[in-house]
Amino acid sequence: MDVYQQVKNVKIMDHFWIKYKKIVEEEVIPYQWKALNDELPDAEPSHAIENFRIAAGESTGEYYGTVFQDSDVAKWLETVSYCLRNNPNPELEQKADELIALLARAQADDGYLNTYYMLKEPQNRWTNLRDNHELYCAGHFIEAAVAYFEATGKTLFLNIVEKLVNLIDQTFGREPEKLKGYPGHEEIELALIKLFDVTQNQRYLKLAQYFIEQRGVEPIYFEEERIRRKHIDTAMTWNSDENMNFGLGYEYQQAHKPVREQTEAVGHAVRAMYLYIAMADLAAKTKDHTLKETCERLWEDVTTKKMYITGGIGSAANGEAFTSAYDLPNDSMYCETCASVGLAFWANRMLRLEANRSYADVLERTIYNGTISGMDLTGKRFFYVNPLEINRHQSDRKDQEHIKDERQKWFFCACCPPNLARMIASIEDHIYTYSGESIFTHLYIASEMKTKLKDKPIQIKQQHQYPWQGTIDMIIDVPNPTSFKLGLRIPGWCKNWKLFINQKPYESERLVNGYIIVDRTWQAGDRILLELAMPVEKVRSNPLVAKNQSQIALQRGPIVYCIEEVDNGPNLAALRIPKDSIIETTWEKDVLNGVVTLRTNGYKLQPTKDLYTTTESQKTPQPIKAIPYYAWCNRIKGEMRVWIYEG
């Protein structure tokens, strides 16, 4: 079993992602900092940093926030770490250092660190793993600490989390004196494997393995814990006993059966993603085939039965959860930003198990569509829920109140904005993997990478106007002629491509799992030109998807399009794109920060006098204009549709 490494030294030069990274650095991080410090006049207070001050004995007052408020601090530190990798910023680093020092002062002597329990129920540590996110928050601290160490070389944060992990390791495990628990919201598992990566401490890997493998083992720990909880004085949680886990059973936490027996993605979509990431990571570390196969099976289930064309997942608001195969309603789903971010991260992990474009295609689908749709183009407003349809009734339907037709400022439950921010800040980590004598290019993002294959230094520079243009220019830099295989992904959406090496057509051999493998001795200055034909495609759903019948989505390259009321008038459902229509593309540099828009000559069905009639509606010609889905709701609020009726 081959395992691939992530190329870590990559600097983004990409016009598309640079804009987003700049927004994260200049808008989101400062805005979040203010939020964490309760300095935003017109947003809900966060209290996240104040909670740590109180825990450290440096302030007074009560705990405030969700039970996972600490994780907002962790995600901010993680995002800051990624920004510091390529852009030194002493002022920001100092803020981070001071915050980390506060965490150190707040940490209990035995290593415990969770402000909710420290301030509200100090006697009740580890009594409600099902609902109360202690291990989840610990996981985010670990991820942040690893990122901060990698970015700065500083070890204080790493020390804090290692002390915390030691306590967790003493508390949980199969030994008789330990609790046989595991988190109600997965996260620490993947974080522990990251911690193992930087420390090579096998205990962290073993602890991750324990958490993953104990999950779903009968008797279900959450059930035992629930009964024990009857004898202690503890606060009510969000999870009501009358409708535990939103009626979804332990599927909600993916704890209904041992992980290797799981064949379908179930329950809370973000939880599921974080578990599957950790399973893929563990499979890579342990070379465990059965775990790898489980990941492949779950991947197949999610991406061929339960994923929106935008990379959104979670078809139901109840439990923010997966439902059944092909149940993909466009106006009542959840499609949480965090869940798509999780799917991108999972795809990245699957690429470390196998260089296969089925993973990279989904990675690309999520990062260009259903993740960044969660943020407006200024980085100031956010969606939790990313619908594929806003119709004129949306705001009248109480059963769809979770679907907003305008992005909001800061959330009380502020999981999505920082999650998206850390994805953008680390987008470079998704481009390349390598193994032995091979380097694979999974994403076309203009950048400069440096790595070594068997101690031989290799640099690759990508230059292009992706995702708007399909001409990819790559330059290899090696000090001496160097033999290695370069895998170039031919995206699943691309039907015609041409490859030139030093201006000579490269004999296109068969694709290996969707990649052209160029095996040669590379010289400094070797130039690769990959031309990916990028026409507008009319995409159809599997007819098993009841809600997308007779409808098409427009896609060009990796970008999924939508139509908005501001361009097309109201009642978008009554628009028709003829089967033989030609879709024209226009680069509009002043629209939505610069996008390729689509235009076609369509029709609109005219309203009839009667509600039901045997005569066909009159069709009047109407131009139809589509914009990238990720950029919807950046102008005037109104209707929106991804799936458009054909005919």
| Among positions 553, 563, 631, 642, the unique one binding its own copies when judged by CB under 8 A | 553
Within 10 A of 91 (CB to CB), how many other CB atoms are there?
7
Nearest to 560 by CA among 466, 645, 444, 643: 643
Could you tell me the sign of the dihedral formed by the alpha carbons of 287, 255, 258, 324, in that order? negative
| Among positions 413, 512, 533, 544, the unique one binding its own copies when judged by CB under 8 A | 544
Kindly give the pairing relationship between strand 432-435 and strand 389-390.
unpaired
Question: What tokens does 429 get?
Answer: 């980590």
Q: How far is CA 401 from CA 244, 394, 396, 447, in A?
A: 22, 8, 8, 41
> Which residue type does 362 have?
V
By the rule CB under 8 A, 523 interacts with its own copies: no
| Cβ proximity to its own copies, 507 vs 610, nearer residue | 610
Within 10 A of 393 (CB to CB), how many other CB atoms are there?
10
| Cβ proximity to its own copies, 415 vs 554, nearer residue | 554
Kindly give the pairing relationship between strand 482-489 and strand 438-441.
parallel
Task: Quickly tell me which residue has 């979509």 as its tokens.
Answer: 269
> Using CB under 8 A, which of the segments 6-14, 147-155, 298-306, 346-354 binds its own copies?
298-306
Nearest to 239 by CA among 221, 254, 252: 252
* R_g over Cα of the chain: 25
| Cβ proximity to its own copies, 427 vs 559, nearer residue | 559
- For the bound state, the minimum distance from the C-beta of residue 144 to its own copies, rounded and expressed in Å, comes to 35
> Using CB under 8 A, which of the segments 7-15, 380-388, 475-483, 614-622 binds its own copies?
614-622
By the rule CB under 8 A, 391 interacts with its own copies: yes
| Cβ proximity to its own copies, 379 vs 514, nearer residue | 514
By the rule CB under 8 A, 316 interacts with its own copies: yes
Q: Do 530 and 497 meet the contact criterion of CB atoms below 8 Å apart?
A: yes
Quick note: the x/- pattern for its own copies over 449-488, rule CB under 8 A, is: ----------------------------------------
- Give the whole-angstrom CA distance, residue 280 versus residue 296: 9
Would you call 137 a catalytic residue per the annotation? no
| Among positions 538, 599, 635, 637, the unique one binding its own copies when judged by CB under 8 A | 538
Could you tell me the sign of the dihedral formed by the alpha carbons of 107, 110, 114, 116, in that order? negative
- For the bound state, the minimum distance from the C-beta of residue 249 to its own copies, rounded and expressed in Å, comes to 12
- Give the whole-angstrom CA distance, residue 9 versus residue 534: 29
By the rule CB under 8 A, 279 interacts with its own copies: no
Q: How far is CA 514 from CA 436, 490, 511, 562, in A?
A: 19, 6, 5, 28
DSSP state of 155: -
> Using CB under 8 A, which of the segments 25-33, 218-226, 302-310, 345-353 binds its own copies?
302-310
Q: Which of residues 482-521 bind its own copies (CB under 8 A)?
A: 495
By the rule CB under 8 A, 263 interacts with its own copies: no
Q: Which of residues 324-363 bind its own copies (CB under 8 A)?
A: 324, 326-327, 332
By the rule CB under 8 A, 397 interacts with its own copies: yes
Would you call 415 a catalytic residue per the annotation? yes
| Among positions 227, 236, 582, 611, the unique one binding its own copies when judged by CB under 8 A | 611
- For the bound state, the minimum distance from the C-beta of residue 30 to its own copies, rounded and expressed in Å, comes to 37
Within 10 A of 59 (CB to CB), how many other CB atoms are there?
12
| Among positions 2, 550, 588, 623, the unique one binding its own copies when judged by CB under 8 A | 550
Count CA within 13 A, CB hemisphere, residue 590.
0
Q: Do 274 and 185 meet the contact criterion of CB atoms below 8 Å apart?
A: yes
> Using CB under 8 A, which of the segments 146-154, 175-183, 322-330, 466-474 binds its own copies?
322-330
Kindly give the pairing relationship between strand 504-505 and strand 447-453.
unpaired
- For the bound state, the minimum distance from the C-beta of residue 611 to its own copies, rounded and expressed in Å, comes to 5
| Among positions 13, 574, 591, 592, the unique one binding its own copies when judged by CB under 8 A | 574
By the rule CB under 8 A, 615 interacts with its own copies: yes
Query: Which of 162, 187, 320, 565 is flagged as catalytic?
Result: 320
By the rule CB under 8 A, 303 interacts with its own copies: yes
- Give the whole-angstrom CA distance, residue 620 versus residue 574: 11
| Cβ proximity to its own copies, 425 vs 563, nearer residue | 563
- For the bound state, the minimum distance from the C-beta of residue 147 to its own copies, rounded and expressed in Å, comes to 33
- For the bound state, the minimum distance from the C-beta of residue 516 to its own copies, rounded and expressed in Å, comes to 21
By the rule CB under 8 A, 396 interacts with its own copies: yes
> Using CB under 8 A, which of the segments 275-283, 290-298, 416-424, 538-546 binds its own copies?
538-546
| Cβ proximity to its own copies, 208 vs 553, nearer residue | 553
The three-state secondary structure class of 404 is coil
By the rule CB under 8 A, 204 interacts with its own copies: no
| Among positions 59, 155, 263, 304, the unique one binding its own copies when judged by CB under 8 A | 304
Nearest to 266 by CA among 251, 248, 249, 245: 251
Query: Which of 415, 494, 562, 633 is flagged as catalytic?
Result: 415
Q: Which of residues 116-135 bind its own copies (CB under 8 A)?
A: none
By the rule CB under 8 A, 612 interacts with its own copies: yes
Residue 549: in which H helix or E strand, if any?
none
| Among positions 96, 307, 458, 631, the unique one binding its own copies when judged by CB under 8 A | 307
- Give the whole-angstrom CA distance, residue 34 versus residue 46: 9
Task: Quickly tell me which residue has 């535990």 as its tokens.
Answer: 244
Q: Pick left, alpha or beta for residue 591 (phi over 0 → left; psi -120 to 50 → alpha; otherwise beta).
A: beta
By the rule CB under 8 A, 240 interacts with its own copies: no
Nearest to 101 by CA among 91, 90, 93, 89: 93
Residue 433 C-alpha from the chain's centroid: 18
> Using CB under 8 A, which of the segments 42-50, 143-151, 525-533, 600-608 binds its own copies?
600-608
- For the bound state, the minimum distance from the C-beta of residue 359 to its own copies, rounded and expressed in Å, comes to 15
Q: Do 446 and 500 meet the contact criterion of CB atoms below 8 Å apart?
A: no
Quick note: the x/- pattern for its own copies over 37-76, rule CB under 8 A, is: ----------------------------------------
By the rule CB under 8 A, 647 interacts with its own copies: yes
Nearest to 259 by CA among 282, 229, 226: 282
- Residue 448 makes CB contacts below 8 A (sequence gap 6+) with 10, 11, 13, 459, 460, 461, 462
| Among positions 54, 77, 191, 248, the unique one binding its own copies when judged by CB under 8 A | 248
Q: Do 161 and 103 meet the contact criterion of CB atoms below 8 Å apart?
A: no
The three-state secondary structure class of 585 is strand
Catalog residues that contact its own copies under the rule CB under 8 A: 246-248, 303-305, 307, 309, 316-319, 323-324, 326-327, 332, 391-393, 396-399, 495, 537-547, 549-550, 553, 571, 573-574, 604-617, 645, 647
Report the catalytic residues. 320, 415
